[in-house]
Homo-oligomer: A and B are copies of this chain.
């Protein structure tokens, strides 16, 4: 064992504690308390494990879990970008890539490279695992907003078309979950908690 490797791993473990302070716009279920990125990532990991059978394509579930556990770590440096932010693009930015290199770079080199690759794969959203991970990332706030009488849709005046467009990413991972999600969106229109 290389002692320096362990010390580097411990440095990374300490650094990512900051993820617990990053507030998301979405609130917990039936709540007005904001969710933070660590809670969000924990929830997505369990959602992925519980819902894995609904993936349209075969997936390596450990890879999906790694993706969702680390996907927001870059926000330690770059901050949370709201899904419906019209000024800041939610696409993988240079700022996020610099953050990934700094934070995952705390790890021993081989491990750093692996984590950066997993994060890049998630961001690209092209593999089966990334598609399913992104389905989880879109499904959780949908469940939260419907439990919160419209939640961030109401708070930030986000309309049906935008929600439908963003949520349709779920379709790339799972027809079953998209069918369920589409039902929730339509129900939200009927209830008046989402506007056309």
Residue interface bits A148-168, CB-to-B below 8 A is 1, else 0: 000000000000000000000
- Partner of A69 from the list B17, B45, B70 (CB cut-off 8 Å) is B45
For the complex, give the distance between the alpha carbons of A70 and B180 in Å. Answer: 25
A47: which of B13, B29, B49 is its contact (CB, 8 Å)? B13
A29 to B177, CA, bound (A): 37
Task: Give the docked Cα–Cα distance between A29 and B47 (Å).
Answer: 27
Assess whether A41 is interfacial by the CB under 8 Å rule: yes
A23 close to chain B: CB less than 8 A: no
A107 in the interface, Cβ–Cβ < 8 Å?
A: yes
- Given known A17-B28, A62-B65, A69-B45, contact A107–B38 (CB-CB < 8 A): no
Kindly state whether residue A82 has any CB partner on chain B within 8 Å.
Answer: no
Render A17-37 as a binary contact track against B, CB cut-off 8 A, 1 for contact.
101110000001100000110
B50 and A43 within 8 A (CB): no
Residues of B within 8 A of A177 (CB): 6
Please report the C-alpha to C-alpha distance between residue A42 and residue B35 in the assembled complex, in whole angstroms. 14
Complex alpha-carbon distance, A14 and B43, angstroms: 10
Chain A residues with CB under 8 Å of chain B are 1, 6, 9-10, 12-14, 16-17, 19-21, 28-29, 35-36, 38-39, 41-43, 45-47, 49-51, 54, 61-62, 65-66, 69-70, 107, 111, 143, 147, 176-177, 180
**Further 10 A-B residue pairs, CB within 8 A, beyond A6-B54, A61-B62:** A12-B50, A13-B143, A19-B42, A20-B35, A38-B39, A38-B42, A45-B65, A45-B69, A46-B70, A50-B107
